[in-house]
Structure 1
Amino acid sequence: MNKQIIAAALALPLALSSAFAQEAQGPSVKISGFGTGALTWTNTDQAEFSRPNQASGVKKSPRTGVDSNLGLQADIGVNSWLSFTAQGLVRRDAEEEYGAELGWAFAKAKINDQFSVRVGRIGLPAFMISDYRNVGYANNFLRPPVEMYSQVPFNSLDGIDATWQHSFGDTTLTGQLAFGGAEAPITGDLTARGKKMSAVNVVAEHGPFTARLGRVDATVSIYGNGPSNVRLGTLLTGLRTFGTALRAPQLTEMANQLAADEKKASFTSVGLGMDWNDIVVQTEFAKRKVDAYVNDTSSWYVMGGYRIGKFLPYVIQSKVKIDGTVANVVPATCPVASPAVCGQLAALRAGANALPYTGVGQGESSTTSIGMRWDFYRSLALKAQIDRVKPAVGSGLLLNAAPGFNKDVTVGAVAIDFVF
């Protein structure tokens, strides 16, 4: 979306707020915002640490772009049953520079005290903290665990959802059903597109305890005109050519799977949370399945902390692993005696294994984190976090790694979160 249009959209709520303030009658307007100012660094220059969907990350030299953002939200209440909400976010994502994006833009109709419907761009309820994953102040940790939150590229959905909420004694049950489509840049020149998307989200809250179950289904495509897509196209052509010439149907099948064109995908997750007697616990477990050469994965994290006045020290353990083995791989042995053919086949094997989340072991990683949150002033929180990232095979989830890199990486970060 054109950045000038987004900037104008972000400024519009402020103008509306000023205009409505001068009227005795009219819609109610609420302007709010959030942000994080952070500095992040690592102990290596051989690979880059990043958040999901970022084009580049950070090495030894401290950078602000990994964990910093700024958001602005406008809520306009027309009457007791109709309202409009828009939320814009500025951050570094799949481009090298900071960019603005329209995260939410929906109309909400409150049918009754228990049932409501929204139409427009809404948050995709794939995770336990989907609606506030970018609001640092609302989360105890400095950033959501990458091993879990890198498994779905979409943050929002363009479509419709319905939410039902009812209390059963001391327990509140919320159910959400959403339908639509989405697009998300995943690198500087590749974009993921989700069609026929459906999401189910069920949350139960009882005192200090929260339990959640969610499921997202979609058909997913990857497209783009940049170098990454050109390399993929060359790889697919080579696989199909060799599949025919060598009478190796597994190569043709591999090409068909690597061509990520409307392939069925699902993401199922459960979550539990507790904030009781200063003890804070949060955990999620998820399964991703894709009918393509993208690896199926299992991911999880456990966070535990203990609140001491305005301080909250915490620890996190997170992991993502590939389920099973990759069924279709370029053969390790060359079926013919031609050195030229064997050399080209070896190049195809290297190209396939270099694709994100497709090579054997690529994308597997675990992280141990320790951190501290200090609510030092109203609506302000200071956080510090140290992560020990451990790629299982290759470079794991790290970006732009040097050839053969497979070392543990220490990541440090300090941040100030705020809301207004």
Structure 2
Amino acid sequence: MLFRMLICVALALPAMAKAAGDQTAGLRPTVFGTFGLTWHASDHLSYRRSLDQARGTRGGRLDTRTDSVLGVQLNARVNDDFDGVVQAVSRQNATGSWQPRLTWAFARFEPVEGFQLRLGRLGLDTMLGFDSRLIGYAYPAVRPSPEGLAMIPVDYLDGADLTLRHLVGKGLLQLKLFSGDSDPDVVLGGTRAELADQRINGLHVGYQGEHIHLRLSHGYSRSRDSAGIAPVLDALRNIPLPQTRAAADAYDMRSARSGFTIFDLSVDDGPLLFMTSLFRFRQPQDKQIIASQRGSRSLLLYRFGRWSPYVGYARMRTDRNDGATGLEGIPGLEPLQAALLEARRRGLFDQRSVSLGVRYDPRPGLALKAQVERVIAGQSPVVDDLRDPSNERRRLTLFSVALDFAFF
């Protein structure tokens, strides 16, 4: 209820800014978006950029849904200490619709230099640029690598963050603390699941110099819901056997604590841009439904006037566990055991990709990008095998074109 009230305050900021007598007050609207085309030839595979999309690009079909986005944003400034942002975005969601969603609606207070507090609906800021990942113009390539980013299907948090900044030499040292709730919808193996009541807490420490940006992020999330597997867990607990109750506990993610640690490095020096991230997602050792994961992503870009060719590499892999359910050999429980194994399979993510592309900026606020990407996956939640879900040799070459715009 508190955060809903804060969102209402953020939505009221434009009127407050308009009524303010301060000469620094004002409104700044922005329209941004991406018109994207994707295609590949692997007819039994489907490619998605994130888990919160209902459908992906199928082989042999030109697709406009994977990367296309339309958004509006309004920055409202009341005075030097108080402003806010409201943002709404339309893109394909987990139900397959394009219903607009409120992704940002926060008020920002900065009473003294180096101290900033934001309250309301905030973009999740776990990796560099992650909170603005829906603004395609702000990202060098066609899309952020799904490896890693796909495992964080959260566009926003209803909560707060506190940022402290201090000048060190010619650079800026920054500490940010954030906390909030989210309720993302995801699609795994063709099945939609509502991840209700996700609590996410974290911090990051960073240093930004003239040409370099370093950041270390750490935090955890806690779920209050078991999503689509809840009926299976209830059925197991209703069977008076120690094995079934142990299996239900091992596959129940309610109140389980999952952690993340991410290191980011960005070097932007003249025509050269280099970005890399290392990430680790940790899962509880006593939970069988999902294993811990680790990965990386890198992008190298060089600017030749308005043309910027780039190359990228990304990797995600899942730590293997024995996959045992504890129900092996018990007559009559084969359907429940199969359901548990299927739920676990959907959480596996072994994928790597290499991309080559070029970006052309004809004018400020407009960018045209073309990219070819080779994707090699085993089990993957974003490269679905529509013919054989157990297939661990998924290969495709994805061709993408995107027109990004951001008009102020």
Q: TM-score range by the shorter chain?
A: 0.7 to 0.9
Aligned pairs (5 A) from 1:260-339: 260-291=253-284, 292=287, 293-323=289-319, 325-327=320-322, 329-330=324-325, 334-335=328-329
Shift in Å at residue 305 of structure 1? 2.1
**1:309 aligned counterpart, secondary structure:** coil
Q: How many percent identity over aligned positions?
A: 25
Relative to structure 1, the CA distance from residue 142 to residue 157 in structure 2 (aligned partners, 3 Å threshold; closer, same or farther) is: same
Query: Which amino acid in 2 is paired with 1:417?
Result: D
Determine helix, strand or coil for the equivalent of 1:165: strand
**Partners of 1:189 and 1:361 in 2: CA distance:** 13
Instruction: Choose which of 343, 346, 370 in structure 1 pairs with 2:356.
Output: 370
Match of 2:365 in 1: 379
1:397 — aligned with what? 382
CA contact (8 A) 2:36 2:64 kept: yes
Indicate if the aligned counterparts of 1:56 and 1:399 stay in contact, CA closer than 8 A. Answer: no
1:260-313: CA deviations, max 9, x gaps? 212111111001011224222111011111223222100211111222221111
Aligned to 2:395: 408
Q: Deviations over 1:358-379 (max 9, x none)?
A: 2298321111111111112231
Query: Does the 8 Å contact 1:104/1:156 carry over to 2?
Result: yes
Equivalent in the alignment of 1:58? 57
Contact 2:383-2:394 within 8 A present in 1 as well: no
Partner of 1:205: 208
Query: Aligned residue for 2:136?
Result: 136
Query: Could you tell me how far apart the structure 2 residues matched to 1:348 and 1:369 are?
Result: 41
Please tell me whether the aligned partners of residues 365 and 397 of structure 1 are also in contact (alpha carbons under 8 angstroms).
no
Paired with 2:122 and 2:399, the residues of 1 have a C-alpha distance of: 32
| Counterpart Cα distance in 2 of 1:316 and 1:254 | 41
In the alignment, does 2:232 pair up with 1:235? yes
Kindly indicate whether the alpha-carbon contact (under 8 Å) linking 1:395 and 1:401 is maintained by their aligned counterparts in 2.
no
| Secondary structure in 1 matching 2:57 | coil
5+ residue gaps, structure 2, are 1-7
Greater Cα offset, 404-413 or 96-105? 404-413
Match of 2:158 in 1: 158
Q: Kindly indicate whether residue 405 of structure 2 is the aligned counterpart of residue 418 of structure 1.
A: yes
Q: Which amino acid aligns with 1:75?
A: N
- What is the SS of the residue equivalent to 2:143? coil
Are the equivalent residues in 1 in contact too, given 2:137–2:367 (CA < 8 A)? yes
Summarize the Cα distance change of 1:234–1:151 in structure 2 as closer, same or farther, 3 Å threshold: same
C-alpha displacement at 1:234, in angstroms?
4.6
Q: 1:25 to 1:128 in 2, by over 3 A?
A: closer
Q: Secondary structure at the match of 2:42?
A: coil
Q: Decide whether the 8 Å contact of 2:173 with 2:206 is kept in 1.
A: yes
Output the CA distance in 2 between the equivalents of 1:192 and 1:89: 20
Contact between 2:86 and 2:105, CA under 8 Å: does it hold in 1? yes
Deviation, 1:57, is: 0.6
**CA 1:47–1:205: 2 relative to 1, 3 Å:** same
After TM superposition, which residue ranges in structure 1, 4 or more long, deviate above 6 angstroms? 12-15, 23-26
TM-score, length basis structure 2: 0.86
Q: How many residues align?
A: 388
The CA deviation at 1:180 is 2.1
Is residue 359 of structure 1 aligned with residue 345 of structure 2? yes
Conservation of the 8 A alpha-carbon contact between 1:194 and 1:218:
no
Deviations 1:7-66 (A, max 9, x none): xx9xx899969x949x99794111112111111122122121011121111112111111
**What amino acid is the match of 1:221?**
R
- For 1:207 and 1:26, the matched residues in 2 are separated by 28
Deviation at 1:327? 4.8
Q: Is residue 13–residue 74 contact of structure 1 (8 Å, CA) maintained in 2? A: no
* 1-structure distance, mates of 2:202, 2:70: 27
Aligned pair in 2 of structure 1 residues 359, 50: CA closer, same or farther (>3 Å)? same
2 CA distance for matches of 1:124 and 1:216?
12
Given the superposition, is the C-alpha separation of residues 360 and 115 from structure 1 closer, same or farther in structure 2, using an over 3 Å criterion? closer
* Conservation of the 8 A alpha-carbon contact between 2:376 and 2:395: yes
Secondary structure of the structure 2 residue equivalent to 1:186: strand
Q: Judging changes above 3 Å, is the alpha-carbon distance between structure 1 residues 67 and 304 closer, same or farther for their aligned structure 2 residues? A: same
- TM-score (norm: length of structure 1): 0.84
Cα contact 2:13–2:76 (8 A) shared by 1: no
In 2: Cα distance, 1:81 partner to 1:28 partner:
13
Distance 1:85 1:360, change over 3 A: closer
CA contact (8 A) 1:90 1:101 kept: yes
Structure 1 portions without partners, runs of 5+:
1-8
SS in 1 for 2:46: coil
Quote how far apart the aligned CAs of 1:176 are.
0.9
From the superposition, tell whether residues 259 and 111 of structure 1 become closer, same or farther in structure 2 (CA, over 3 Å): same
- Deviation (angstroms), 1:101: 1.0
Q: Could you say what secondary structure the match of 1:351 adopts? A: helix
The question of 1:83 aligning with 2:121 is answered no
Look up the match of 1:4: none
Aligned mates of 2:186, 2:381 — CA distance in 1: 16
Secondary structure class of the residue paired with 1:284: strand
Q: Is contact 2:42-2:395 (8 Å) kept?
A: no
| Aligned 1:61-140 pairs, distance under 5 A | 61-140=61-140
**Any idea what SS the aligned residue of 2:341 has?**
helix
Distance 1:243 1:147 in 2: 41
RMSD of aligned C-alpha atoms? Answer: 2.8
